Structure 1
């Protein structure tokens, strides 16, 4: 429990927690290119970014396991290691005044084919904001989702595709403030009681994708995630966890294919329906260069640079990314630099059931 406290009570700076546009179920590939992904999502990522993109799947993909882990750098490891093994929870909290921390990750197993996708997944996100020592208060976000998603897509009109994903999610965690009185007497038992929130919810995402049949294949997308808000019903003996707010996203992208490299620039405007947020925090843009057996990515996420790399080696694929997150009210106010890595074990087949693991992605997806 002491380790959990150390991870969730590192400071983000006053006011930063409430201003972050938090996401869960992120793709490491997408984060490397600014998380601008709704137009070019493919394979199992379509289930979580744009279900209409299931229409783009060629062949079959079985994702056996794809664990990922992310954090805001070496500082969080050093902070946890330096945590005192003895003393009260209040003593432990005092060690983290003025510091930053965030941890995320998860894994999934999935199957996708043209117009169809299934996934079982687990995804977690831990962050905290501790106010100034004179008037201490802790704003805590601790969310762990595990669930099942099933999606399908079809051609609505020529060159226009629609997709829907239904999901059953069990959520554990809380988003809550702990005031001065609570922090002064906080114990392991009290902390457990505060975060003992668990429930089950049913949600749906809807996506549209329009693609022009030209040489650069321009695409336009619109996605409505968690339509109407995904609400949770408390499990027996627990309090209700926080609901998942809906999000509207509009995107545009290109696919430029050649014999040696495929180039995929894209841009997404996220959180369109959050009118009180600065536009600069909603803009995501990026580009991917898909070379034989290696992908190089870059972009901008809420005004901060991103970079990513993907390497394919037979059944195995390794992805890494770094990106910046705005913790303030507007871009440029308070960046937090984050890093992530992922190992994927998968089996891929073309429409004729030929094994294609290790081939360049572009060869797999030629129309």
Structure 2
């Protein structure tokens, strides 16, 4: 079956990831958000005890036991109306400027988000240290439609590929204190452009997208700390600090990735084979990720209940919006889902962009 011109374009847009920015302010551009942390409201700096530690706090790698392996981990995320927009684009006459303009007008003020990732990783212990090596393959895109009189499509997208290495070590002379370091080297391909209905209806729009794509490469490092202590045998308290991209990543003509500093606290209780974890984070302490400095947008809190076998459920608040998630772990295959709200305005509660995430992981956890 021969694809129409816009079917080809829209597939290119979605696969190479070109979807979602904000109507008023761009969402916080964290390097990566894992499904489990998203279900917990993004509060993971002091929790970090699985493969997500390499992105949230490398000190958490000290908690790894045995060997962990992620052979295939496809992850897909999309905002609430992304599928409807895709279908509407595919249904119109893609060569008709008036139809394209009408469709853009229908979605003026809306924001859309798409992300895909397919990382692989191996985690193991070397002496007293936890080590993780990962291959990175991620793409995220944001799109917004603005200007009711003459609708314009604002597209920003980043496609990253490369590698990461992280090491976490618990200091024997200071019980409960773990330090970690991570190093990443990445290539990035970005688009940050505005398109009119005339541009989109043009026969050469695919070529325009390719011409507007900028690329570059860079390396950076992360540092982390977690201090944990048992309190009267009732709960385990952990304090965490993490600096992500401490050297801001300069990708040349592609979009840069700013430094981010986060702090968090977590509490963990175990009873009858269940584990309950509560966590609170404050992200972007130095205001690097966005132009606004809204305190509410930086607050993340959540909880996780892990059952004796197979199941874990999560809930929380992120930027003032509810989050929820769950894991079904069948040892060699794991299913993770989550939903969360991203604030697109300049303060919490102004404009929510509801998103849904799913991941299937083949391998085994620590």
CA RMSD in angstroms, aligned pairs only: 2.5
Tell me what 1:117 maps to: 132
Listed one character per residue, the Cα deviations across residues 78-99 of structure 1 (whole Å, up to 9, x for unaligned) are 2212222531578536413324
Structure 1's unaligned 5+ residue stretches are 234-239, 350-367
What TM-score results when the alignment is normalised by the length of structure 2?
Answer: 0.85
Distance 1:174 1:128 in 2: 11
Distance 1:184 1:133 in 2: 18
How has the CA–CA distance of structure 1 residues 147 and 289 changed in structure 2, closer, same or farther, with 3 Å as cutoff?
Answer: same
Q: Which of 205, 211, 232 in structure 1 is aligned with 2:251?
A: 232
How has the CA–CA distance of structure 1 residues 43 and 10 changed in structure 2, closer, same or farther, with 3 Å as cutoff?
Answer: closer
Tell me what 1:104 maps to: 115
Distance 1:229 1:340 in 2: 27
Q: Which of 14, 38, 48 in structure 2 is aligned with 1:41?
A: 48
How has the CA–CA distance of structure 1 residues 65 and 27 changed in structure 2, closer, same or farther, with 3 Å as cutoff?
Answer: same
Do 1:34 and 1:286's aligned partners in 2 also have CA atoms closer than 8 Å?
Answer: yes
Tell me what 1:354 maps to: none
How has the CA–CA distance of structure 1 residues 90 and 267 changed in structure 2, closer, same or farther, with 3 Å as cutoff?
Answer: farther
Deviates more, 1:129-138 or 1:24-33: 129-138
Deviation at 1:180, TM superposition (A): 9.7
Deviates more, 1:91-100 or 1:119-128: 91-100
Distance 1:205 1:188 in 2: 37
Tell me what 1:142 maps to: 157
For the pair 1:269 / 2:278, whether they are aligned, the reply is no
Structure 2's unaligned 5+ residue stretches are 1-7
Distance 1:313 1:27 in 2: 19
Listed one character per residue, the Cα deviations across residues 114-154 of structure 1 (whole Å, up to 9, x for unaligned) are 42111012111111122213254443211111110001122
How has the CA–CA distance of structure 1 residues 169 and 9 changed in structure 2, closer, same or farther, with 3 Å as cutoff?
Answer: closer
Do 2:95 and 2:201's aligned partners in 1 also have CA atoms closer than 8 Å?
Answer: no
Tell me what 1:347 maps to: 364
Tell me what 2:167 maps to: 152
Deviation at 1:285, TM superposition (A): 0.5
Deviates more, 1:21-30 or 1:34-43: 21-30
How has the CA–CA distance of structure 1 residues 228 and 121 changed in structure 2, closer, same or farther, with 3 Å as cutoff?
Answer: closer
How has the CA–CA distance of structure 1 residues 345 and 336 changed in structure 2, closer, same or farther, with 3 Å as cutoff?
Answer: same
Do 1:28 and 1:342's aligned partners in 2 also have CA atoms closer than 8 Å?
Answer: yes
Q: Which of 87, 103, 119 in structure 2 is aligned with 1:95?
A: 103
Do 1:65 and 1:107's aligned partners in 2 also have CA atoms closer than 8 Å?
Answer: yes
- SS of the counterpart of 1:81? helix
For the pair 1:78 / 2:84, whether they are aligned, the reply is yes
Do 1:88 and 1:187's aligned partners in 2 also have CA atoms closer than 8 Å?
Answer: no
What TM-score results when the alignment is normalised by the length of structure 1?
Answer: 0.85
Deviates more, 1:19-28 or 1:160-169: 19-28
- SS of the counterpart of 2:54? helix
Distance 1:121 1:227 in 2: 19
Distance 1:242 1:48 in 2: 19
Distance 1:137 1:333 in 2: 22
Deviation at 1:13, TM superposition (A): 6.1
Tell me what 2:269 maps to: 256
